[in-house]
Amino acid sequence: MGRLDQKVAVITGSATGIGQATALVFAEQGATVVCADVSLEKAQQTVEQITQQGGKAEAVHVDVSDVESVEQLAKHVKETYGTIDVLFNNAGIDEQGGKVHEYPIDLFDRIIAVDLRGTFLVSKFLIPLMLDNGGSIINTSSMSGRAADLNRSGYNAAKGGIANFTRAMAIDYARHGIRVNSLSPGTIETPLIDTLVGEKEKEQGKQFRDANAWITPLGRLGKPREMATVALFLASDDSSYVTGEDITADGGIMAYTWPGEMLIDSKWKDEAEKSE
């Protein structure tokens, strides 16, 4: 018996990375998964993986930053399933933009539109499907919503906003039996990382990964499935008394105030290389 048997889950940004891994895990645990993504073709590939493993899923196009697109998603889900049990607001984008005075306004607006506004819009139009029976909502924030990054103020603002928006939602809907939590990943090996810094086979991508492994206490990047299993906990009844929380899964980075001896003592780097 799966932990999500007979449940319907909607996952945005389910074509790749954490969203795709979570769709696979949710389906393995018995859920019927609506794989919503701006790329219908790639979302269909996720669905094919699920159905090949005996699970149930469908792919639906959605642009989470567009009101009409989200309304169409909500209409389709209501007509097809009537209700949902789990909503995973995972769709998001990221890109460096420079210091604030240099930051392109259109880039800031785009990141806020997809990451923060998209979380709001999808929640706004799908929560009505949860009001009668309750359920669980998970919003993807980031360790970058808890601390800042160089040249990424738009992403920091969006992800920080998601974390506090999650708390507001948790208060709003607790008496409706809807739990709302956020998941804050660290640096995870996903296609987004390839886009931002380069693939691991390329020099720039390798340097980035080596540096992250060095300063991460666990000595490596995270894996999408490791985030998916945290999302599974938040989606399932195992977390029935957890709401309004931000769960950080970052390999320990947020546990220290500064890298300290990691920058001075080479043994940290040597140990990171051994753990790979």
Q: Element (H or E) spanning 10, and its range? A: strand 8-12
Catalytic positions, please? 155
- Angle subtended by helix axes 267-275 and 203-215, to nearest 10: 110
Strand partners, 87: 10, 137
The H or E element containing residue 159 is helix 153-173
Residue 265, classified by CB atoms within 10 Å of its CB into exposed (0-12), middle (13-18) or buried (19+), is exposed
Q: Which of 13, 12, 58 is nearest to 31 (CA)?
A: 58
Query: Is residue 139 within 8 Å of 85, Cβ to Cβ?
Result: no
Contact predicate 25/231, CB 8 Å: yes
Q: How far apart, in Å, do the first and last CA atoms of the chain sit? A: 35
- CA-to-CA distance for 82 and 222, rounded, in angstroms? 36
At CB < 8 A and 24+ separation, what contacts does 47-56 make? 49/20, 49/24, 50/23, 50/24, 53/24, 53/27, 53/28, 55/24, 55/27, 55/28, 56/27, 56/31, 56/32
CA-nearest of 59, 40, 58, 62 to 125 is 62
| Bridge partner residues of 222 (DSSP) | 188
